[in-house]
Structure 1
Amino acid sequence: MSEKHQTWGWMLAVDFFFAGMGGAMLVIAGLTDLFMGPETSSLLGNIVGPLCMCVGCGFLILELGRPMQAWRVFMNPKAILTFGAWMMTFAIISGLVYASFGIPSELIFWRDWSGLRHLLVIVNIVTGLVVATYPGVLLARHKGRPFWTGPGLMGLFLLSSLVTGFAGHFLCGLILPPAAATVQGHLPVVLAALLAAQALLWIGYLWIKRTGTTAAEAASAQRWINGDLSGAFKIAFMVLGTVAALIMALIPVAVFQGIAAVLALFGGVTMRMLTVRSGTDRTFLPGEQKYRSRLPQGEEKFLKKIWL
């Protein structure tokens, strides 16, 4: 059996990245509207949030295969994948309608409906949080994948989604500044705080996996510490995507803060790529490896024989 049947690929990691960032951007827009007013977040950021989730959906459909049957994902109410698909759908629709309130056009006849806007703010916060956290929940439920199992991954994905969400909103604000710039100026400081928390939580997560869990979990964590994943984790994620981004975010110059946001996004993609790759480590049921060793590999003579 090929490895593709055993693990997910890079497209799922890209889906996790765009979906998490988009969900967090909805949460940030909703919270700033709720406490600071509707003009404190960039209109471009409000639009980009749900569009990012649309991109994530596209990669998910491609990863699952059979795009023309993608509707089946919505049909199993007991599956967590179905729950996530519906939440993402609600978040996309709610986010796009909410963003339309900032478009100065007479065609948007509902722009003055403050009740609808407040309702969408609440929906955006709730569904955005679910979408931002969902990838960690989805992976953590796989008990046969030692690096994923446990509640820790849920918090790490939520935190990373918030990091990328703040980075995305800040970049959008540089391109199309919000009408009220009070929040925009504080985004780099919040981003730096989240990056510091991200570094500490990842160190703690790997330490716990390495020292306080099963042998399989310790071995999977070792890949991140000094194994085949350690280079990308230490250099791409920790040094560039976290520490360097944190330092640049605290420099009160827009160019450096913009670079910090880009590095934070790069770190978010890297983290998801590495986490999905860690799914190649797994524990097996009794007799499962023996069964798989007897499956045809595709090169056997009996598979190539032409029967007349």
Structure 2
Amino acid sequence: MSQKHETWGWMLAFDFFFAGMGAAMLLFAGIAELFVGSNLSTLGILAGAVFIACGAGLLVLELGRPFQALRVFMNPKAILTFGAWNMSIAIVAGLLLGTSWIELFPWFGIVGLRKILAILCVITGFIVATYPGVLLARHKSRPFWNGPGMMVLFLTSSLLTGLAAYIVCGWVSVAAPAVYALFPQLAAGLCAFQFVIWIGYLWIKSSGTTAREVAAVRRWTTGNYANPFRVGFMFLGTVVPLALFLIPNGVSIGIAGILAILGGLLMRNLVVYSGQDRTWLPGEEKYRSRLPHGDETFLQKVWTKQI
């Protein structure tokens, strides 16, 4: 059996990244509309919807059989169906909310519609931002994923990358003053929380848990994930942005936003690929060790005779 069938790959990691970041952008846009009556950034709202759509497209390709993708909407008991419906609603609500601030569209300036769309963005945005962590946490055979902590990690990263994306949008478009007045401080707080929660997660997984979980954590602390995690994600993607967000300078805050976004992308790739560490069923490893790999002598003889 090929590795593609054993683990998920980079497309799912990018799906988690785009969907989580875009969902958080819609969540913040909905909150601003409901409680402040403010448009954070038309570009940011539209980008949030587009990001979720990009993530959905990558998910379809990763799951295979893209021409049968509509089947994912037909099983109300499946968590994938729940996620697919929420992503779809978030995309439509985000596009309508963003275009409601553009005079070209007939629903421009309809305040009541904006409030309804804002509510949908808040609900679906929160669900989609949390959904990847819930999906992974349900996999009991993947020791590094299993548990409610994964949901907190993904939600925190989604919120941080969503804030960072709005800050970057402020570089290239007219944005509400709140983007620069409040978002950097919030992003710095999320960076600090992200740092602490990851330390706590690894500590809990490495102490008082199963041997499989301890072995999975070693990849992150001393194994092949150690340098990307410690240098790439924790330092360059968390600590450095934390410091830069607190500097009252547009350039440093923008760089911090880019680093936080890249750190979130790296984290999702590391988490997804850590799914290769799994708990095997009794006798499964022995069974798989006896399966042919394709280059055995007896298979080569059979193929030669057929030719």
* TM > 0.5 fold call: yes
CA distance in 1, matches of 2:123, 2:239: 30
Structure 2 residue 169 is matched with structure 1 residue 172: yes
1:9-88 matched pairs, under 5 angstroms: 9-39=9-39, 41-88=40-87
Q: Which residue of 2 aligns with 1:112?
A: 109
Show the counterpart of 2:96: 97
Match of 1:200 in 2: 196
**Deviations, residues 38-87 of structure 1 (Å, cap 9, x unaligned):** 33x01110110000011111211221122222222222222111111111
The aligned residue for residue 153 of structure 2 is: 156
* 1:182 Cα deviation from its structure 2 partner: 3.3
What TM-score results when the alignment is normalised by the length of structure 1? 0.95
Aligned residue for 1:145, secondary structure, equals coil
Shift of 1:32: 1.2
Cα-to-partner distance string for 1:230-277 (whole Å, 9 max, x where unaligned): 000000001100000111111111000000000000100010010011
Greater than 4 Å deviation, 4+ residue runs: none
CA RMSD of aligned residues (A): 1.3
Q: Do structure 1's residue 211 and structure 2's residue 211 form an aligned pair?
A: no
Percentage identity across paired residues of the two chains:
55
Contact 2:100 2:110 in 1 (8 A): no
Equivalent residues of 2:30, 2:118 under 8 A apart: yes
1:279 corresponds in structure 2 to 275
Aligned mates of 1:69, 1:184 — CA distance in 2: 44
Query: Is residue 2:135 matched to residue 1:138?
Result: yes
Cα distance in 2, alignment partners of residues 74 and 266 from structure 1:
31
Change (3 A) 1:258 1:183: closer
Deviations 1:178-237 (A, max 9, x none): 2x4134321111100000000000000000001121111111111111111000000000
Tell me the equivalent position of 1:267: 263
- In the alignment, the residues of structure 1 paired with residue 237 and residue 130 of structure 2 have an alpha-carbon distance, to the nearest angstrom, of 20
Partner of 1:37, secondary structure, is: coil
- Gaps of at least 5 residues in structure 1 are none
Unaligned runs of 5+ in 2: none
- Aligned AA for 1:84? G
The Cα of 1:2 is off from its aligned counterpart by 1.5
